Amino acid sequence: MKIMESAENYLETILILSNKGDVVRSIDIVAETGFTKPSISRAMKHLRESGHITVGEHGHIELTDSGREIAEKIYERHRFLSRYLMKIGVSEETALEDACRIEHVISEESFSRLKEFVKTLEE
């Protein structure tokens, strides 16, 4: 099931924050993204209703298996694309911005082939 780019970004943000070892709350997502509390609340409601996150009694947000799968896929793409854009001379700022856009639209096939190609270059 294809989800919206904004939802993928929120799931990726939750993954990144949770990887830091802290519990994730809506206010943490507000601080990380710079979006307003009402916008984050609406997004979290949508992600909860779609089964991608759970929200505990104290407002702690956790990824479900489906949410984690999407977040990890997007985050892998982001790390890979930004790293290799910088390796070919793209500035860090531009590489990060471009990777954020590309990670949502590149097909599984193209991303897989790109990873395979880069792997052959590194051998």
Equal CATH topology for 5-69 and 73-122: no
Write down the pLDDT at residue 56: 92
- The ranges assigned to domains in the chain are 5-69, 73-122
pLDDT tens-digit series, residues 15-52: 999 998 779 999 999 999 999 999 999 999 999 999 99
CA 65 – CA 6 distance, rounded (Å) = 19
pLDDT at 123: 78
Own/partner long-range contacts of 34-42 (Cβ < 8 Å, ≥24 apart): 40/10
| 58-94 per-position pLDDT tens digit | 999 999 999 999 999 999 999 999 999 999 999 999 9
Q: pTM of the entire structure? A: 0.89
Q: Is the pLDDT of residue 6 over 70?
A: yes
Q: What is the pLDDT of residue 67?
A: 96
CATH of domain 5-69: 1.10.10.10
Please give the CATH number for the structural domain made up of 73-122. Answer: 1.10.60.10
Dihedral of the alpha carbons of 69, 75, 77, 83, in degrees to the nearest 10: -160
Residue 1 has pLDDT above 80, yes or no: no
2 pLDDT band, cuts 50/70/90, is: low
Average pLDDT of the chain?
93
CA distance 73 to 52: 14
